[in-house]
Structure 1
Amino acid sequence: MSEIRVALADDHPIVLAGLKALVESTPDMSLVGEAVDGQAALELIRQTLPDVAVIDVSMPKLNGFGLAKAVAEQCPEVRVLVLTVHEDRAYLDQLLQCGVRGYLLKRSAAEDLIHAVRAVMAGGLYVDPAMASKLLSAAKTPGAATSELSSREEAVLRLTARGFSSKEAAAKLLLSIKTVETYKARGVEKLGLHSRAEIVRYGARHGWLDET
């Protein structure tokens, strides 16, 4: 199995050093570079196209929200894993809208970073367990039953909830991107969902995020 190429961005030198040590001590991972502000991180990601970019939310010059949006637009093949101290669900919702594939709390990084990187690399959506419980407890997603979905609509929404783009879902399901987007639109209409964050919360309630 090829190495997972990782880029790191955090404006705190001690945190960055710790993340670097974790990645470099993991046999199936390699560090392609590091940055201490958002603009430098974007340049690094553009130049190296890592498999996974681990970024802090609060950075100078370009914060994590702006960086995640820029990466999604300019380097969509790069999976973004956010590292943050914020345990507010509003941050998670906003970052999901920006296209991030993972949300890891800094207090969990020493134990869970490597697992999170692997989960994101495998195509899933990683949410810190502390945040996942908030997703579940706060999920007031409107609620038609999953049984109302066609098998294709459910398959597309499951992949969407786990962080896959329409292009990636199309490749997995052997469908065109347009067809995937049609199934997604039908599915969210049936379920009364209006955003990616709501799809993720619905998926959390129905066990979709635990799939491999």
Structure 2
Amino acid sequence: MHNPSDIRIVTADDHPLLLQGLNDTLTRRGYELAGTANNGTEALQLILDKQPEIAILDIEMPYLTGLDIAEICLERGLTTKIIILSYHKEVAFIHKAQRLNLSGYLLKEDTTTEISTCIEALLNGETYYSPAIAQSTMEQSSEIQKMLDLLTPSEKKILKMIAESHSTEAIAELLHVSIRTIEKHRSNIIRKLDLNGQTHTLSIWAHEQKGVIKGL
């Protein structure tokens, strides 16, 4: 068990009452607040200046979101471990958090009860996601899998390539078929997945569900 007073934490949330509640919780439990911010730009600057062990960030803030900050920290090779606070438990958000190697992802309603457990897990080199997220992710992944089961083998292959950001033209060339054939497959996939037919809708959806699609 780590000594809380040795752990410097930066917090950021653009809702003053939520930020104060988070800070009060951390202070009561003995953690050192290295700084606190109410927008993403301030939060990033605090992390760069203070180099805290942990930063607890709201997922949605002005200027830079919590995920934006996590991406910048990853690119710069910073050692600060990032915990995101969010109301979102959709698969797309969770997959993005995982791609950014986030150390923690807590639902805001779980913050008070789970924060110490989350911090301790991070300090032991583990990741920690709210238990409710794991359940929700499994349920949503199961629903997506049922939809993907409606696709033919050819449609699944094309969907994988779409998820990997290949264009229609590139897919046609790789599969040695016409562009029109790929466009027809895309239309069928959109219909079976019950997506709207707007430009790039399928590409965006496939990218968001890449973690599920790659298992096809």
Instruction: Establish whether TM, by shorter chain, passes 0.5.
Output: yes
Aligned residue for 2:10, secondary structure, equals: strand
Q: Do residues 17 (structure 1) and 27 (structure 2) align? A: no
Question: Aligned partners of 1:54, 1:91: CA distance in 2, in Å?
Answer: 17
Question: Aligned partners of 1:107, 1:85: CA distance in 2, in Å?
Answer: 8
Kept after mapping to 1: 8 A contact 2:59/2:67: yes
Letter in 1 for 2:111: A
Aligned residue for 2:93, secondary structure, equals: helix
User: Where does structure 1 lack aligned partners over 5 or more consecutive residues?
Assistant: 143-196, 203-212
After TM superposition, list the pairs within 5 Å mapping 1:16-35 onto structure 2: 16-27=19-30, 29-35=31-37
Q: Deviations over 1:13-40 (max 9, x none)?
A: 001001101111113x211000110011
| 2:74 corresponds to | 72
Q: TM-score, normalised by structure 2?
A: 0.62
| 1:57 corresponds to | 59
RMSD of equivalent CA atoms: 2.5
Question: Aligned partners of 2:124, 2:78: CA distance in 1, in Å?
Answer: 15
Letter in 2 for 1:17: Q
Question: Aligned partners of 2:100, 2:94: CA distance in 1, in Å?
Answer: 10
Kept after mapping to 2: 8 A contact 1:22/1:114: no
Letter in 1 for 2:76: Q
* Aligned-residue identity in percent: 28
Question: Aligned partners of 1:8, 1:77: CA distance in 2, in Å?
Answer: 16
Aligned residue for 1:91, secondary structure, equals: helix
Indicate which of 7, 11, 21 corresponds to 1:8.
11
Kept after mapping to 1: 8 A contact 2:12/2:56: yes
Letter in 1 for 2:102: V
| 1:106 corresponds to | 108
Tell me by how many angstroms 1:121 deviates.
1.9
| 1:82 corresponds to | 84
User: Where does structure 2 lack aligned partners over 5 or more consecutive residues?
Assistant: 146-209
Q: TM-score, normalised by structure 1?
A: 0.63
Question: Aligned partners of 1:111, 1:102: CA distance in 2, in Å?
Answer: 14
Q: Deviations over 1:31-82 (max 9, x none)?
A: 1000110011000000001111000110001112211101112252110000
Letter in 2 for 1:20: N
Question: Aligned partners of 1:113, 1:13: CA distance in 2, in Å?
Answer: 19
Q: Do residues 92 (structure 1) and 94 (structure 2) align? A: yes
Question: Aligned partners of 2:141, 2:92: CA distance in 1, in Å?
Answer: 13
Tell me: CA distance 1:135–1:88, structure 2 relative to 1, closer, same or farther (3 Å): closer
Aligned residue for 1:6, secondary structure, equals: strand
Question: Aligned partners of 2:7, 2:211: CA distance in 1, in Å?
Answer: 30
The number of aligned residues is 147
Question: Aligned partners of 1:51, 1:33: CA distance in 2, in Å?
Answer: 12
